[in-house]
Amino acid sequence: MRPLVFASVFLLLAGAAYAADPTIESLSAKSVNRQVSVRFTMAHAFDREQTIQGLQSGVPTTLTYIVEIFRDRPHWFDEGIARSRIEVIATFNSLTREYLLNYRRDHKLVRSETFNDLASLQRAMTTIEEPNLFDIGKRPPYKLKVRVKADLMRGWLLYFIPWEFSTRWNAVRVASPPEQAR
């Protein structure tokens, strides 16, 4: 009995390993007039078949992005300045055959959109552009960094063990226009 359990767990984990891991790509942060704008995309978010199956069955599918701005201090602890939580929630309506997308920033609804096709919905869920996301005050932008990670929806291991998929942190230095740089 024990070898059968270990073999089934191994096969489940091996099957999950074939799908590419989701990653944050094309991260950029720019400071203009003491406001930092952030832009990034997430690749391979919908490579797992169970994500698309869950979405098309009407289960709300959520991608949660954690965006932090901090002062990078080498050889010491980083100084956290601000943090924002962006939630992109999609639900499929089987009667109208439309996808409803709710975009929330820090638990406040920013916008709602409807989509007719899955490809445009996926693009809207994985491409994030946030103008003026952080106010940096009098801090010099060249000393700041922005980092992003994504928490994807939960999966289930053996149908009763919750398993959450997350990306690794991706960080980039805040760019500033030439007239603001020192």
Return contacts of 14-18, CB within 8 angstroms, 24+ apart.
16/48, 16/155
pTM, entire model: 0.82
Classify 7 as helix, strand or coil.
helix
Cα gap 77→135, rounded to integer Å? 21
Predicted pLDDT of residue 179: 60
Cα gap 114→98, rounded to integer Å? 6
Residue linked to tokens 């924002």 = 84
Predicted pLDDT of residue 19: 61
Secondary element (H or E) of residue 44: none
What are the pLDDT tens digits along the chain (182 aa)?
A: 555 544 454 444 444 445 678 999 999 999 999 999 999 999 998 888 888 888 888 889 899 999 999 998 888 888 899 999 999 999 999 899 999 999 999 999 999 999 999 999 999 999 999 999 999 999 999 899 999 999 986 666 777 777 777 899 999 999 987 764 44
Please say whether the beta carbons of 100 and 112 come within 8 A: yes
What is the distance of C-alpha 113 from the center of its chain? 18
Q: In sequence order, what E strands does 33-73 have?
A: 35-43, 61-71
Q: What does R_g of the chain's alpha carbons equal in angstroms?
A: 19
Q: What is the DSSP letter of 57?
A: T
Please say whether the beta carbons of 100 and 114 come within 8 A: yes
Q: Is 30 exposed, middle or buried (0-12, 13-18, 19+ CB in 10 A)?
A: middle
Please say whether the beta carbons of 24 and 148 come within 8 A: yes
Residue type, 70: F
Predicted pLDDT of residue 181: 47
